[in-house]
Amino acid sequence: MINHLHVETHSFFGLKPGPNVLVLGRVHGNEYCGTLAINNVINLIQNQLVNITSGKVTFVPITNPLAAIKGTRNGDRNLNRAFYPKGSSKNDFEDELNGILSPILEECDVLLDLHSFLNGVKPFALIGNTAGDEKAIVVNQEKVYTSESHLVSALEVDTVIANWSETYARGVKNRRKRDGILSPPFSLNYDEKYGDGTTEYARSKGALAITLECGQHEDVSAPRVGVNAILNILGCLRMIEERYNPVADNRKISCISLFDVIDKISHGDKFTKNWKTFMKIEKNEIIGISEKGKEVIAPKDCFMVFPNQNAEPGQEWFYLGEQS
Ligand SMILES: [Zn+2]
């Protein structure tokens, strides 16, 4: 039974010093794979099929219990937005959760947040940006240098998206300029801090943080992708005896760095095709046509990311990314 009056965590401490890893499942209540993957790994550890020899790993199988009870993405609101402690001004269930979860995120060295998606086929991951994110982690008195790009290479993904939060924040600033909203307080749509989710918050406190989209919501292989991700990251950080189910080291992972986000302006703005994430767009290709008949044209060869035909006017319609 899920209880939304508390949050349940499981921690395992290896006897030797090492990194502090946090794994979150079901930040979105309808994304079951994270919970299934975490419970599976807890089982492996409890049955000594995997042994944590150094460091600490904390699992949160159900990060948003209210959303999980409802079986929907959000409880009162999206937990993966405006993620920071709210002090005494708590307005909803997720604000209460922020107060409980923030200290756990603040103390971790590495965060793995497990999600699933509605539209799409293959698993993919999101990292911060690809430049200069290397971090020294002490494992067993030895410094191990790692980075989000390095950790992500241990996951079963062939595509990684970078630069989401910078692009989001730039989009919000453009939106303020466009709509003539000049000074705070800003409502959610005009507040770049609204874009801060679990990984952005953890990163702001010095952690390496990865969001793994394990597969489509109903995909039966998504929990396995999550299990392998947890074990491979623990292996990479030398917290378990051996790498479990390692993925081939010579795989080519393509990294798509976001560079622009375009808002939908009117209800009548239409895409020219049924765009899906990672579809290629050619320079000067017409991506969409506004209600007033203006063509929205690709500035260069790039990729479509997170197109949302149902976006509300004034909100993100699609992102553009390029290979990096
Ligand atoms: Zn999600």
- What CATH fold (topology level) applies to the domain 10-252? Aminopeptidase (3.40.630)
Question: Hey, where are the domains in the chain?
Answer: 10-252, 258-323
10-residue mean pLDDT profile of the chain (324 residues): values are 93 96 98 98 95 96 97 95 91 95 97 92 90 77 87 92 94 93 87 92 95 95 96 92 65 91 95 94 97 96 94 93 94
Tell which CATH architecture fits domain 258-323: Beta Barrel (2.40)
Q: Please tell me the predicted confidence (pLDDT) of residue 189.
A: 86
How far does residue 80's CA lie from ligand 1's centre (Å)?
Answer: 8
How far does residue 115's CA lie from ligand 1's centre (Å)?
Answer: 4
How far does residue 213's CA lie from ligand 1's centre (Å)?
Answer: 7
How far does residue 176's CA lie from ligand 1's centre (Å)?
Answer: 27
Q: Please tell me the predicted confidence (pLDDT) of residue 243.
A: 58
How far does residue 194's CA lie from ligand 1's centre (Å)?
Answer: 16
How far does residue 283's CA lie from ligand 1's centre (Å)?
Answer: 31
How far does residue 144's CA lie from ligand 1's centre (Å)?
Answer: 30
How far does residue 16's CA lie from ligand 1's centre (Å)?
Answer: 34
Write the secondary structure of the chain as one string of H (helix), E (strand) and C (coil). CCCCCCCCCEEEECCEEEEEEEEEECCCCCCCHHHHHHHHHHHHHHCCCCCECEEEEEEECCCCHHHHHHCCCCCCCCCCCCCCCCCCCCCCHHHHHHHHHHHHHHCCCEEEEEEEECCCCCCEEECCCCCCCCEEEEECCEEEEECHHHHHCCCCCCEEEECHHHHHHHHHHHHHHHHCCCCCCCCHHHCHHHHCCHHHHHHHCCCEEEEEEEEECCCCCHHHHHHHHHHHHHHHCCCECCCCCCCCCCCCCEEEEEEEEEECCCCCCEECCCCCCCCEECCCCEEEECCCCCEEECCCCEEEECCCCCCCCCCEEEEEEEEC
How far does residue 302's CA lie from ligand 1's centre (Å)?
Answer: 25
pTM of the model: 0.93
How far does residue 320's CA lie from ligand 1's centre (Å)?
Answer: 20
Q: Please tell me the predicted confidence (pLDDT) of residue 170.
A: 93
How far does residue 32's CA lie from ligand 1's centre (Å)?
Answer: 10
How far does residue 67's CA lie from ligand 1's centre (Å)?
Answer: 11
How far does residue 117's CA lie from ligand 1's centre (Å)?
Answer: 6
How far does residue 27's CA lie from ligand 1's centre (Å)?
Answer: 6
How far does residue 79's CA lie from ligand 1's centre (Å)?
Answer: 9
Q: Please tell me the predicted confidence (pLDDT) of residue 246.
A: 61
Kindly list the protein residues that place their beta carbon closer than 5 angstroms to ligand 1, a single-atom ion: 28, 31, 115
How far does residue 271's CA lie from ligand 1's centre (Å)?
Answer: 24
